[in-house]
Every structure is written in C-alpha cells, then in structure tokens.
C-alpha cells in the first residue's frame, strides 16, 4: 500500500546528514525523493568510512554512514556549474512539491537556485533551507557542524561527568533533530498550501534545533538564573534516576515517583529507607541525593544484574540494562517491532542492504521506504526521461 505522502515529490539538494535525514523521513512516508548529487563525486558521506557496504563484485557500495540517511531515494548526477544542468534542476523543481537544500546562506544564489529566485518561478514550491545558523543573525554566513553546535548550543556543558571534559552525545543529535524539525516544518507548510495555494520558505538551523531541545535544562536556567552543569548519569531533579553498579556490571534505575521508590527499597531489602523523612519525597531525595545514592549503591552492588532486573520488573519499577549497539539489535522487543531492515539491492554482497526503519507506524503500517540508498547517478536516465530530457 502506498505511504501517506505518495504523490508528493521532493527535490533534495542536500548532503551530509541534516538535509538528507529530512529527505529520508519523507521517503519513508511515501514521497518520491530525488537526490541531486555533484557529478562524479556525490554526497560527501559516500566516502565517510570504513566501514563500507560490501558489494557483490568485491568492491563496496559506499560508506555505511551514507546508507544511514539516504534510503528510498533516487539519485541523479548534476554539474551545478553547467547552465544546461541547472536548467534540469529547475525542470525538476517545476514538477516538485518540496525542495530541500543545505548550502551555506547565499550559496545557491549564484546558480539562480536560491529561495527568492525559485519562489518567483515556482510560487507553489515549499523550499526548505537547512543551515548551521539560519538565514539571519550575525552567524548566518558560518558553516555549521554537529559537534560545533553541540558545544555552542549548551548540550555538551550538561553532558559528561562533573570532573571530566564536556562530552558530545554519541550520535549526531543536532543534525538528526534539525532534519526531523525540518520535516515537521515542511509538512506544516504543505498543509498550509492546501488552504492558501502558495508555497513558502522553511528555515531550519542546527543552533535553533539544539537550543530548543535543551528542554527542562533550559527552563531550569530560565526559572532560577542558575546555569545547570554536568552531573554524569544522574537526573538534575529526579532521584533516584541514574546508573547503578550491580555485582556483575551496571543497570539503570529510574524512579519517577515516591511509590516506585518505596518498591525499590523493598526489593533491596531495606523498605525503611523510603520512610525516612530525608528521603520520603522526591524533593527530599534531591536535597539529600549524595547520602541516598551512597546507601543505594551499597545495596545494589551485592545483587546480580539479572536478579535485580527481574525483581524490579515484577513490582513495576522502571529499570533496564545498558545495551551495546549489538545488544539492541539482538533484543527480542526490537526484533518483534521490526526495527532492522533488509532492503533488496542486486549489487550488494548478499543481495540486500541493512537499515534501521523509521519509528513511525501509521494505521498499523511501519513507515519505511522499500528500497536501499541509491548508487551515485543510478536513476539519472530514468529521471531525465520523466522531464523529457532523454
């Protein structure tokens, strides 16, 4: 069955991660996403390896990184310096609902492919610009990279151990959030166009995305005037809610209310702790965090991981293991939910390319594009025929 965005065409003039992530989400939802790539080179991430995706002929199909964010698209090679090729881009835009680009601010103006130029020719086009710092402001001309913006956007200052260096999140979260917010903006603009008949400019930036997802940490600062700091795996305002050592490793215990805390103390063989005045409410526990955590660690350290997790699950106290990435894909629940994909690709070593599906399920249908990431220029002739150029 076609996806909910079947019939919607997206022209992707984007590379690396944030822009292509937006394109992949739209492809998962059923849109026809045409990825425009530099002739002879393609998306930079095609070479961001090892590891590379093995090909049937003994070579490779590009870096795993590239395949993480380009599923379900069609690829056409274009020389932006060629007037003839730029005309092809405009022909594609004329047949598209959405254009996604992540050039530096003003980078497409010299090609006549910037928003102002395109809006005049294609007033119904929804044009999404994904940049480091947005279309306005003193930093607008700068290039943006996930690591830089994690630092500038505050997340690194609240991530890591108190006595360690500021720490980046282990995945490019700023790029991923920006790509996801771009999709929200694009779909909202698409809905608005149904009422107005007009396209618009969606402006999404890494710095705004990162700032917006500071969430409770931002509000804590705005409410108190005190900038939050790194505190490892503990929660700033919920206790106990952190990593605990056990006899054979570590687990996570996350008590979100007083009832759960009482059950935890019972499992640990010390129900009286929950009745002590200094630990009775969450506010008390936050104030007396250090003493409480020291006492709880002394108890959890004596119990095996499997034993304590089983007991906590029986009394509905939220707790869980700390899985490796390999553990995640071996987890029975992740398997049951079908998160790992095997997409057909006759050039691949085993005839398929693995992937991780979108977390979106609509009407019982998991949203995942059925095709692997395209080879560079794989669909050039096909796409040119569709616009009468071949």
pLDDT in tens, 127-158: 999 999 999 999 999 999 999 999 999 999 99
Q: Distance between alpha carbon 194 and the CA centroid of its chain, in Å?
A: 28
> What is the tens place of the pLDDT at every residue in 45-99?
999 999 999 999 999 999 999 999 999 999 999 999 999 999 999 999 999 999 9
Domain ranges for the chain: 9-213+336-387, 241-325
Which residues are catalytically annotated? Answer: 175
Q: For the chain, how long is the longest CA-to-CA vector?
A: 79
Interatomic CA distance for residues 275 and 271, integer angstroms? 8
Question: Cα separations (Å) of 111 from 72, 87, 142, 330, 362?
Answer: 27, 10, 20, 48, 39
Task: Give yes or no for residue 389 having a pLDDT over 90.
Answer: no
The CATH fold of domain 241-325: formyl-coa transferase, domain 3 (3.30.1540)
Find the Cα–Cα–Cα–Cα dihedral 130, 136, 139, 144, rounded to 10°: 0
Q: What pLDDT, in 10s, does the model give residues 242-274?
A: 999 999 999 999 999 999 999 999 999 999 999
Q: For 9-213+336-387, which CATH class?
A: alpha beta
Q: Exposed, middle or buried, 328 (CB in 10 Å: 0-12/13-18/19+)?
A: middle
- pLDDT of 303 higher than 90: yes
CB 364 within 8 A of CB 77: no
pTM: 0.94
- CB contact at 8 A, 295 and 273: yes
- Per DSSP (E only), the strands in 166-280 are 201-205, 241-246, 249-254
Tokens found for residue 3: 């996806």
Asked if 9-213+336-387 and 241-325 have one fold, the answer is no
């Amino acid at each position: 069955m076609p996806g909910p965005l079947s019939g919607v065409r997206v022209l992707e003039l984007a590379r690396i991660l944030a822009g292509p992530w937006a394109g992949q989400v739209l492809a998962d939802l059923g849109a026809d996403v045409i990825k425009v790539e530099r002739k002879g080179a393609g998306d930079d991430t095609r070479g961001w390896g090892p590891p590379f995706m093995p090909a049937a002929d003994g070579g490779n199909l590009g870096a795993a990184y590239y395949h993480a964010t380009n599923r379900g698209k069609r690829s056409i090679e274009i020389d932006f310096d060629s007037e003839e090729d730029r005309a092809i881009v405009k022909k594609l835009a004329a047949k598209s609902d959405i254009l996604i680009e992540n050039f530096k601010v003003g980078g497409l103006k010299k090609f006549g492919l910037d928003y102002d130029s395109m809006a005049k020719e294609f007033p119904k086009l929804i044009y999404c610009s994904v940049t480091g710092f947005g279309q306005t402001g003193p930093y607008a001309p700068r290039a943006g990279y996930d690591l830089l913006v994690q630092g500038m956007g505050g997340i690194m200052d609240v991530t890591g151990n108190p006595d360690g260096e500021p720490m980046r999140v282990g995945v490019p979260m700023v790029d991923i959030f920006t790509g996801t917010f771009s999709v929200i903006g694009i779909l909202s603009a698409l809905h608005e166009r149904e009422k107005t008949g007009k396209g618009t400019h969606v402006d999404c930036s890494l710095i705004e995305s990162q700032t917006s997802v500071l969430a409770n940490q931002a509000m804590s600062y705005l409410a108190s005037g005190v900038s939050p700091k790194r505190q490892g795996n503990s929660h700033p305002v919920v206790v106990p809610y952190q990593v605990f050592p056990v006899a054979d490793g570590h687990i996570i215990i996350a008590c979100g209310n007083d009832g759960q805390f009482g059950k935890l103390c019972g499992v640990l063989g010390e129900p009286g702790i929950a009745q002590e005045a200094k630990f009775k409410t969450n506010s008390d526990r936050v104030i007396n965090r250090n003493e409480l955590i020291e006492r709880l660690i002394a108890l959890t350290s004596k119990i095996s991981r499997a034993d304590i997790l089983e007991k906590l699950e029986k009394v509905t106290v939220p707790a869980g293991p700390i899985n490796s990435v390999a553990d995640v894909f071996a987890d029975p629940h992740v398997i049951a939910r079908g998160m790992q994909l095997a997409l057909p690709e006759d050039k691949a070593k085993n005839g398929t390319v693995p992937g991780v599906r979108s977390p979106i399920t609509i009407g019982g249908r998991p949203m995942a594009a059925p095709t692997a990431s395209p080879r560079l220029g794989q669909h050039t002739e096909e796409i040119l025929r569709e616009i009468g150029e071949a």
